Amino acid sequence: MSRERLPDGREGGRGFTRVTALMTSVMDLHVRIALQEADREKRRLIGGGVFLGMGIGLATMAALATQIALLLWAKQHFQLDWIQAALLLAVVDGLLAALCLRLGGGMLKGPFLPQTTAGLLRTTRALTGRF
């Protein structure tokens, strides 16, 4: 088997060089597809980001007003000290935050770019011989 000089100075067989070139080509293709998808979706993503930012700001102000109202209500309704009412509210907030983080983490699992995922699946099948 003939040996070739690799770019880093080592010697490798032609088979290794071909597999490396194939994998590099496949990864370049997938990166190109991902960049094309991002370019097509840029306007939608920017508009969505602006509205999400506005929504987050308004939701934060509403949450702050709600927290103040709940604190005043808990103090008056349960006849608690300020510290006790604040601790009660903090426990409820902590439980809701844990639930939201758990649900959000589950929703974020999975592929984000469908064309890239489909391309990787086709490539993997082709390389492993399963069509």
User: What does the pLDDT profile of the chain (131 residues) look like in tens digits?
Assistant: 455 555 555 555 566 677 788 888 888 888 888 888 877 778 787 888 899 999 999 999 999 999 999 999 999 999 999 999 999 999 999 999 999 999 988 876 766 677 777 777 777 787 777 75
At which residue do the structure tokens 């590099």 appear?
A: 24
Name the residue ranges covered by the structural domains of the chain. Answer: 62-131
Are 12 and 3 a contacting pair, CB within 8 Å? yes
pLDDT for 1: 47
pTM value? Answer: 0.47
pLDDT for 8: 57
Ramachandran area for residue 9 (φ above 0: left; ψ -120 to 50: alpha; else beta): left
